[in-house]
Amino acid sequence: MPYPDRVDEPPQGAAPGADEGPSGPASLSPANMADVARLAGVSIATVSRALRDVPGVGESTRRRVREVADQLSYVVSPEASSLSRRETGRVAVVMPRMDVWFYSMMLGGLERGLRAEGMDVLVYQVPGPAERGAFVRDLPARRKVDAVVLAALPLSPEQRDRLDLLGVPLVIAGGAARGLPHVDVDDRAMARLAVEHLLDAGHRDIAMVRTSDTDDTTWDADLLRVAGFRDALAARGVPERSDLLVTEPWAIDAGTKALDRLLALPQPPTAVFAYSDELATALTIGAWRLGLRVPDDLSVIGVDGHPTAAVMGLSTIDQQVELQAATAAEITVRLVRGVGGERSVRVPHVLVTRGSVGPPPAR
């Protein structure tokens, strides 16, 4: 009777007929440190030290423990380890949704960066105002993670304050927030750059197209890009025409609809600055389908660095989402580990010219 001290294990889970896996050695209830210790003829403490590579273990002992460990295909229980170390090794990433380009890029980059540092990523989708309220009220991530990354999640200052109750470092990715570590881009400057690019090409009747959310959420990036649009016009002394700032309710083809409205104007624009590449794309497709040529009849520029923009040949301001994500991951890791360094970083943007901007058509 080799293991007199283990007599529990009810059949647990699996229905009678269920497969138990062809792999023999995987006995129910995986091995624990005690098992390893016993087989290696050492104490639990030594096993713990040996497997964690902490100093203070004889080389031969360490080897032996290692061998026994993978012979039993033993792995440390993360739960028990966390309980004891008071760390989870996990980071929560919270975003409105993860099935649209910007967020999926951000999530992908964060996962890469965090996993490279040995952290697991727990994801939370918090789409609307109601869900945001619930998230902030219930703090479902509490005690589950060592840090929380908010990816472009619109929160009120009070909501942000309440997140202090999480008791772990908080990082904003893709946006700013007074006092909190964050990674962002200069939305205002990006917009200014885009519009300057159009002005440089000779345009004066420049429209800006954006979308509004179905709920009443306001996005800082939106306001800032409108401001940048105005900055650029003002700086060149081009009077702003209010009819050229059009806002469509969000929809996948909002750009197309915006174009229709612009073309119906008595004096249509010769160039369009779109809030996003998605908008620019839909707008351009709409233009093509109407028989308009880009940029001969209409110049278009967007913001994002969306891959479709490349296929479309759309000029854009690349906001380098991967870099934002990688940077946010790095900051998060540093905060968790308690090492110093920049707490907030502004990622540079890049004008990518692809041929969707040209001189205005001759009248």
Partner DNA sequence: TTGTACGCGTTATCAA
Partner DNA sequence: TTGATAACGCGTACAA
From residue 278, how far is each of 127, 288, 300, 331 by CA, in Å? 19, 15, 12, 29
Write each residue from 65 to 84 as x if it is in contact with DNA (CB under 7 A), else as -, in one continuous string.
---------xxxx-xxx-xx
Separation between Cα atoms, residue 318 and residue 330, nearest integer Å: 21
Separation between Cα atoms, residue 181 and residue 183, nearest integer Å: 7
Site for DNA (CB under 7 A): which residue of 3, 4, 8, 11? 8
In terms of Cα–Cα distance, which of 65, 66, 89 is closest to 78? 89
CB 176 within 8 A of CB 345: no
CB atoms within 10 A of CB 171: 29
What is the closest distance, in whole angstroms, from the C-beta atom of residue 86 to DNA in the complex?
Answer: 7
H/E segment holding residue 43: none
CB 334 within 8 A of CB 345: no
The entry of DNA, a second copy, none near residue 58 (CB within 5 to 8 angstroms by kind) is: DNA
The entry of DNA, a second copy, none near residue 57 (CB within 5 to 8 angstroms by kind) is: DNA
What is the closest distance, in whole angstroms, from the C-beta atom of residue 68 to a second copy in the complex?
Answer: 17
What is the closest distance, in whole angstroms, from the C-beta atom of residue 302 to a second copy in the complex?
Answer: 14
The residues that touch a second copy, with contacts defined as CB under 8 A, are 12-15, 19, 21-23, 26, 30, 73, 75-80, 82-83, 86, 88, 90, 97-101, 103-105, 107-109, 111-112, 115, 120-125, 139, 142-144, 161-162, 164-165, 167, 179, 252-253, 255-256, 281-282, 285, 288-289, 307-308, 310-313, 338, 340
- Quick check: 165 binds DNA (CB under 7 A)? no
In the numeric block, the tokens 């905060």 are attached to: 335
Separation between Cα atoms, residue 309 and residue 316, nearest integer Å: 8
Site for DNA (CB under 7 A): which residue of 27, 43, 71, 217? 43
Task: Please give the residue ranges that form the binding site for DNA (CB under 7 A).
Answer: 6, 8, 29, 32-34, 41-46, 48-49, 51-52, 54-58, 60-62, 74-77, 79-81, 83-86
